[in-house]
Structure 1
């Protein structure tokens, strides 16, 4: 996407009008309204004026709808080629009204903004360049235009403003904690990635976005992962879009945390987990369902339930893979990872075709729908089995976990005893009663252990002997 969109057609007339209105404000005797922004690392107070709504331009580079631009690829390309044409500006207006996760639908938050503006008028000024390009307040201008309001209050940036300044100022205003409407999840990822691409250090970016450095690293990893998925989904003219993953924020974050944990032990198992979970996320499964997917999910459940049409043809996996640009090779991923990746690719391509809808031939769309239905059937059945096994494991582990927790409490009790002895503050009677309760409880535990365990180990044998001595 372009980063310098040049000047709009009405730039000269807007500059003249801005200068005239600024002069009127400076020469007036009333209270002058200003807006404080962060300008090149320092706070700057800019003057606020009224400008005609219809003479201003939506910012083609705004981060607010960066991911949503791909909703109509042809209009997106036209927006890059001629951002100031009526059609391009109308497309931006349409996207600003649209629901971020599905631009085909109207955003209820936009309607709420319109109602607020209708009832209370404009409370906060927007921000423009002297050419009349909105840096902040694009959505407000869209709402005011729909309402037929003739003017909008805006602060005016300095004459030396560049497109890099526009991007930086927009981000700084959006990331203020008191801002009423946040960027969508994907647009936030894109904004962070742009800052990384600009050469900024990750700790500085994290500070500006009010997140921890680890969270910023996670966001960069997730966006890279999503872009890889989109590239893998490409088939003919059909391709998934970043906005198709707008609702997957928590699932993707959990995947990243689990991937880091597993890759520290086994890269291959981590990749198996990643591929199976990504396929489930793309198919729209819930967070609780995705959590059931472990590294052995494909081999243990999915493989036997997949129809032959979704199983890749067996091929010999290479033992090593050459590193481009270096005279070295590394161990290739195992056959299991290749199989899981092939299934994910099949699912992604089918989803891309289904998302394209009537833009692809009907037979191709029907085949994609059949593939998705078969994949969902196999995943749903596999997740049902995985859920049953997880519940069984949880029940099996419940009693040992309780004893482990009790041991931790007793360990803390030892520390408390030492501290109480040092300060001579132990309530000995209460302590004695608690120990008697412990003794009685151990007796009950021994009784149930004897009934439940046919071949006791050393620990259970000690418990049974201790209970027998008490009796």
Structure 2
């Protein structure tokens, strides 16, 4: 292995045990496991190792984000990755819910129950000094079940930490019965691959996603990192990556909406992003976030905010264009400034509220009050915003229906041409469909006359056409 971590204390003893058992496996031509190794397939012999002598991998992507749950134990893990405190902490994280260390992950329980019922199907993977590369969670489950041994392949002696990370990723991304990486840990793994200099198209292929999805996930990760930075309070408390674990669909939908709006108005897109980010912090559902459009803050939210939550934003100063002294343009992002300032307040309040004890921390209580007031303001703003959106949808429903009907008729024209050239048309059925169309147009014209006292060219044509076919 490389120099990122020192050899575990019992590493050399484990190496001897591994070599002896590998020799037996070679002599017996035993089971093998196939991995991707430095760009090619490599077949490794499988041996049985005592679960109690192996070490959990402190660098595993599976729990990278969760390590920050307990700063004190995480610090102990960094200082002594092979010590009992650090290894016990890794075992705890391998079993718990990604966002709640007090609860056991149902996926872990399912894996443990499967191992109990059917035994270990797929071998894990270790270094020759006993560090688990693949199968960390399986090892934790086997220990909990009281099993003595785990079947593992062994990486070559020349393995580096870069090899360990690459092999772990390739194995975890296979479509097998494994406990999948959490969303945030997957984002971390992607970003690490980018920083290592790999091409985006190669990373997308390895993660079995489209390049557009890779771009989306990187944007989401950037938004999360920016939000964490903005959430930091004077005492150092801030949000953590795992606080965004269950907002995957909200963040991905935010990306799609943001890109669509940004294509025509970057300022409006930023305003929308900040308003929805604030709602994610407050715990709103995805259906509520959809009610937030670029004008949400100005039109609906600002009048509902108490004075304590109205951020003080410096007015936008006009910017002169070099060489044109008499011409100025507005400062960038005037719409988004107030929304971003409010989001900053809520990010910092959320960090303070969840890091302090409500009974003893005045800061935590004050932050909780800020969040409660914000939720009340957003609730009152969402009501009229929802009504306006539903009204707009009703206004557009009839024109969109008619537009869809036009598309169908255009398709019918093309299919009619093809049918004529192939002499494959049911004349009677087509004639019946045209009669039905005439009847539908007559009903449409009748309702249009009642709805539109002043008729435009299109409605006038419809009425005249129906009269001529009556």
CA distance in 2, matches of 1:95, 1:118: 21
Three-state SS of the structure 1 residue aligned to 2:357 is helix
- Residue 281 in structure 1 maps to residue 264 in structure 2: no
Q: After TM superposition, list the pairs within 5 Å mapping 1:263-282 onto structure 2.
A: 263-282=262-281
Deviation of 1:434 after TM superposition, in Å, equals 2.0
| 1:173-204 Cα shifts (integer Å, max 9, x gaps) | 00111242211111111000000000000000
Deviations 1:158-182 (A, max 9, x none): 0001111110000010011124221
Separation in structure 2 between the aligned mates of residue 307 and residue 359 of structure 1, nearest angstrom: 23
- Comparing 163-172 and 354-363, the one that deviates more: 354-363
Quick one: distance in 2 between partners of 1:8 and 1:352? 36
Gaps of 5+ in 1: 322-329
**Contact 1:353–1:360 (CA<8 Å) still a contact in 2?**
no
Contact 2:111 2:179 in 1 (8 A): no
Task: Give per-residue Cα distances to partners, 1:16-49, cap 9 Å, x unaligned.
Answer: 1111111222334xx5011111111111111111
CA contact (8 A) 2:128 2:154 kept: yes
Once the two structures are superposed, what CA deviation does each residue of 1:274-304 show, in whole Å capped at 9, x if it has no partner?
1111111121111111111111111111111
Give the deviation of 1:332 after TM superposition.
4.4
C-alpha distance 178-114 of structure 1, shift in aligned 2 (>3 A): closer
Q: 1:19 to 1:425 in 2, by over 3 A?
A: closer
2:275 is paired with a residue of what secondary structure?
helix
Cα distance in 1 between the residues matched to 2:330 and 2:72: 42
Counterpart pick for 1:141 among 139, 142, 148: 139
**Unaligned 5+ residue runs, structure 2?**
321-328
- State the Cα deviation string for residues 253-275 of structure 1 (Å, max 9, x = none): 11111111111111101101111
Secondary structure class of the residue paired with 1:358: coil
Deviations 1:72-122 (A, max 9, x none): 122222222221111000110110010013223211222222222223222
Q: Which whole-Å CA distance do the structure 2 matches of 1:51 and 1:265 have between them? A: 60
Distance 1:406 1:27, change over 3 A: closer
1:427 aligns with 2:417: no
Does 1:232 find its partner at 2:216?
no
Match of 2:27 in 1: 27
Tell me how large the CA RMSD over aligned residues is.
1.9
Evaluate the alpha carbon distance shift between residue 418 and residue 117 of structure 1 in structure 2; reply closer, same or farther with a 3 A threshold.
Answer: closer
**Gap change, CA 1:397 and 1:320, over 3 Å in 2:** same
- Over 3 Å counting, the alpha-carbon distance change for 1:368 and 1:171 in structure 2 is same
SS of the equivalent of 2:158 reads coil
Mapped to 2, the partners of 1:360 and 1:59 lie a distance apart of: 38
Q: Quick check: 1:351–1:372 contact (8 Å CA) kept in 2?
A: yes
Q: What does residue 213 of structure 1 align with?
A: 211
Change (3 A) 1:430 1:49: closer
Is the partner of 2:283 in helix, strand or coil?
A: coil
Size of the alignment, in residue pairs? 460
Where does residue 161 of structure 2 map in the other structure?
A: 163
- Match in the other structure for 2:242: 243
1:13 aligns with 2:46: no
Task: Give the distance between the partners of 2:176 and 2:333, measured in 1 at CA.
Answer: 49
TM-score, normalization by structure 1:
0.94
Indicate conservation of the 8 Å contact 2:270/2:333, yes or no.
no
TM superposition score normalised by structure 2: 0.94
Aligned to 1:384: 383
